[in-house]
Structure 1
Amino acid sequence: MAERTKSTILIDAAPETIMAVIADLGDYPAWASGIRSVEIDATGADGRAERARLTFDGGPFSDTVGLEYTWDDDRSVTWRLVDSGTVVTGLHGSYTLVPSGGGTEVTYELAVDVRVPMIGMVKRKGEKRIIDSALKGLKRHIESA
């Protein structure tokens, strides 16, 4: 899983406001298109998820997977696959937040491996669609609040 797809968006909010939304995994179906449900399996001392099961249905990737999360305060979160699904065999992603002017630059990186052989260009296009949809949903959710 060497190559990752990434995209960045500017959101008119402070990093801690954005990270609070990102950390509320249970609310993802409300703003992240394609996410059907999230079950938190374990939380850390800070109350943020350490392990969760995510069911998604979107683009070329539809499955239920187990993820492990690592949080760096309100600066970043990374996740990696710990329980494969029926289609997804590898997954690694991150959100990185950097203050920028009066807002925050949010970068989302994602790499997904699937059981079905897929041309790299097609896989990256699917990853790009997932990333762009998530970033736009996050921005819309936060800025409309």
Structure 2
Amino acid sequence: MSDHTEQSIVVDADPDAVMAVIADFEHYPDWVSAARSVQVTDPGTAGRAKQVKFELDAGVLRDTYVLDYTWASDGRSVQWDLSESELQRAQHGRYSLTPLTDSTTKVTYELMVDLKIPVIGQLKRRAEKAITDTALNELKKKVEG
């Protein structure tokens, strides 16, 4: 992904436990602060959704959008692309999981968002950094909680 934000965090859990939380979209509103509702619109196979609709309320940013997901066969990564949105022109993201020990995993989150309204590049990167930072910290809290 070119022109994106990337951050990592270490989670005290194995990759399977981390990916199980990432894949459990119906429960996102329980632990993702900006998620007002999340609906799997195409369940895909093996408990791995192919398409998901989100209603997001992050204060100044409110959007309803649909993401298409692609899951790695080894269970160590998932990536997504924007299918439709009210405010976004494009979104591409990826979670990558790297086992560090039997009970710790490095989670890397890459994100690129392009809004339909013009935004200065530096502000866009700052917003992406805030999104990835919040997402990683909320994920860590949920998995370890």
TM-score tier after normalising by the smaller chain length: over 0.9
CA shift digits 1:89-123 (9 cap, x unpaired): 11010100000123000000110010111011100
Structure 1: segments with no counterpart, 5+ residues: none
Of the structure 1 ranges 12-21 and 49-58, higher mean CA displacement relative to structure 2 is found in 49-58
Map 1:97-108 onto structure 2 (within 5 A): 97-101=97-101, 102-108=103-109
Cα distance in structure 2, aligned partners of 1:109 and 1:60: 22
Instruction: State how many pairs are aligned.
Output: 143
Is 2:93 the partner of 1:87?
Answer: no
The answer as to 2:124 corresponding to 1:111 is no
Q: 1:23-58 deviations in whole A, cap 9, x for unaligned?
A: 001111111221111111112221210011111111
Normalised by the length of structure 2, the TM-score is 0.93
Equivalent residue, structure 2, for 1:126: 127
Q: Which runs of 4+ in 1 moved over 6 A?
A: none
| Unpaired segments ≥5 residues, structure 2 | none
Aligned to 2:33, what secondary structure does the other structure show? coil
Q: 2:71 — aligned with what?
A: 71
Q: For 2:94 and 2:40, how far apart are their aligned partners in 1?
A: 18
Which residue is equivalent to 1:20?
20
Q: Secondary structure of 2:50's match?
A: strand
RMSD, aligned CA: 1.4
Percent pairwise identity: 45
TM-score, length basis structure 1: 0.93
Residue 30 of structure 1 aligns with which residue?
30
Whole-Å Cα distance in 2 between the matches of residues 97 and 59 of structure 1?
A: 29
